[in-house]
Structure 1
Amino acid sequence: MKNKFDILIIDDEKVVIDSIIKIASLANYSVDFSFDANEALTKLKQNEYDLIICDIMLPEKDGFQLLETIQNFNIETPVIMTTGYSTIDNAVKSLYLGAIDFIPKPFSIDEMQSLLARGLKYKSFLQQKRNTFSDGLVVSCPSRYFRLGVSCWANLNNDGTVLIGATNFFIKSIEPVNKIELLKNDDVLIQASPCAKLFSTEYVHNLNSSLSGRIIEVNKILIEKPEIIEKDPYFEGWLYRIIPQELEFEKQKLIPCGSDR
């Protein structure tokens, strides 16, 4: 019989593992850990986990290779990538390869608690979908849209501007949304970097932008009525209109939402 754990931590630094274990214990999550990818794969065959926290820099096989193996083996456990070598490239690659989020080291208690809550909620979505045979639990973004990872979408307009917003998955994983903090006109977004803060009952959640660009319009109604983003995340609930930078290059790391169908 397989052992059941909430979280599997994969990191070659014991201090990091101990830190995440302490944070997870605040919410009474059960935790297992591995110091390298091969040991982690063995444990994934022997046990059941609801969430994986994986470092990129691992001995022998790195976190990206492990993430690709998890995808190839059709292991549905969601993965959050982390690293002390935080770069935009690492964040983008993590999300493109299938991680549901990325967090640089060092991280705060609040940041990790927020990620753990969202990651475990995502696993519950997958289980509900399997048990009810329903695709309506989390609504996919419109087929003409693109997304970076599973959290932020982009809609390319004919006039060269791009609308940016949060996916239904991201919103569902943090509901209710009690408050939204947005940037201002002329601020610059960086792909895979935080672009907005969404406040739920317990946590503050950072949304990473799908593209880089200069903000030319902010959906200020969301500040007064944050509930709109829950009701209509893909149309009235958009966050920013931007003039994109390096669109053709960055678009290569976006996933067409039409492929979700």
Structure 2
Amino acid sequence: MVKDLPDLGLITPHILVVDDEQRIRDACRMVLTSMGFTVETASDGPKGLDLIEEKHFDILLLDLMMPNMSGFEVLTRVRDIDPDTVVIVITGYATLEHSIEAMKKGAFDFIPKPFTPDQLRAVVSKSLRYTHALQDIVTSKSRMRVMVNRLMDGVMTTDSDKRIVLANPAFRHMIGFKGSTMVGSLVSETITDETLLKAVDQALATPPGSFSEIVHELSIPGSGIDGEKIFSVRCSPFRGRTDHNIGTITVLHDITAVKKMDQMKSDFVSMVSHEIRSPINSLLMQLKIILDGLAGETTPKQREILERATDKMLNLNNLVTELLDLSRIESGLVAHEKELVDIAGLLSEQKIFHTPYAQKKQMEIELTIENNLPKILANPRHMDEVLSNLITNAIKYSPEGGSIRISAGVKSECLSIEVADSGFGIPEEDLDKIFSRFYRVKDSNTRTIHGTGLGLAIVKSIIDSLHGSITVKSAPGEGTEFSILLPYNVH
């Protein structure tokens, strides 16, 4: 047996020899049987085709020059009957023209007469490696299709012409497709949602050499118990070996339960905050009456205790206010409360407002604004809140004598705002958490600084509602820089 023969496992290759010469058939049977193969023979083309009609052969050794029916005719018929059969042609004349013609018709290889047993073993071993490679590809594709079809997420792939190549059952169910198949049709013929269609267009338009994942949310109305469904949409370009787009991959993930849970939490926070605010305001009024002496004289010690209690109540009142703001932003109630906002003017006002607080800590606020800064469509009160939070934090978390740099300009077709300080800085392990609700960096520098841990969460929610982004760069002892990018042409 040839030593580089592929591992056949439990499958014994089945080989058919079709040749009009008895000695060739017998010689092939003897050599191939000794290699462990199952071998059958036929003396002409019609008999060989009858056998191929009855069963599958992994390899066909086919003589090209035979009476009644030539090997070329048999080869053409085999391609129609069983295209997975690997054909090795036997040519008695050893002409290159015959071999090339046979290869064009689908033959895998050829062997010239007369041939030795070693030559026969070599060409059969080569064809078996090819057969096994084809089987591995078919098996891998089949397994991949089964895996994709069993995914809970919806998956759709398209070609560069936006024709659907694959759409698993989950995807068809998510978009409410009722037909028999989506494969082969244009995306626009089976999908009406503009969000999905736009995502596919954007993915295909992604230039070579760059990669971006198009992310959207998709709401599909429902009825009965199911009600509205909300899906996250992630669409990416699919690249070929030359890095050009050859299609797209779209994944739908059901986030309905998460969205409903977030809404329930926001509703609960809003309800509790409203219920707490009234008694807090009442207590603050009562404390003010006592501190103003309207309820009688107070001793210095009593006044100290009452002032401390007032500070705590004010902190609690601030927490309730910020919780209400955060709940309102995340519920989408401010989504339509927008107008054109002059960020340059807003930044100038913020500098004037915060300068006295900064001067108490011997700090300077440096403001740089590019000329002709574009206006953005936003809620003025919430943009004021974003800037106020960042500047206040920069002052609070910086030592005396520090500096604050604020700049605004245009970058990557977006309005860019940067707020940097020379403060305590943020450890690397905390950078991913600072935009979470109630999270505060705790160390020896910040232990005495009061706060709710909601300021940056509110900032992040407002920026997200404007389809913008906020990033932070910081290191302990090296200060912190927040960078905001806001699209100024989104209406």
Q: Pick the structure with greater CA Rg.
A: 2
Task: Classify the TM-score, shorter chain.
Answer: 0.3 to 0.5
Pick the structure with more strand per residue.
1
**TM score, norm. by length of structure 1:** 0.48
Pick the structure with more helix per residue.
2
**TM score, norm. by length of structure 2:** 0.26
Structure with higher RCO (Cα < 8 A, 6+ apart) = 1
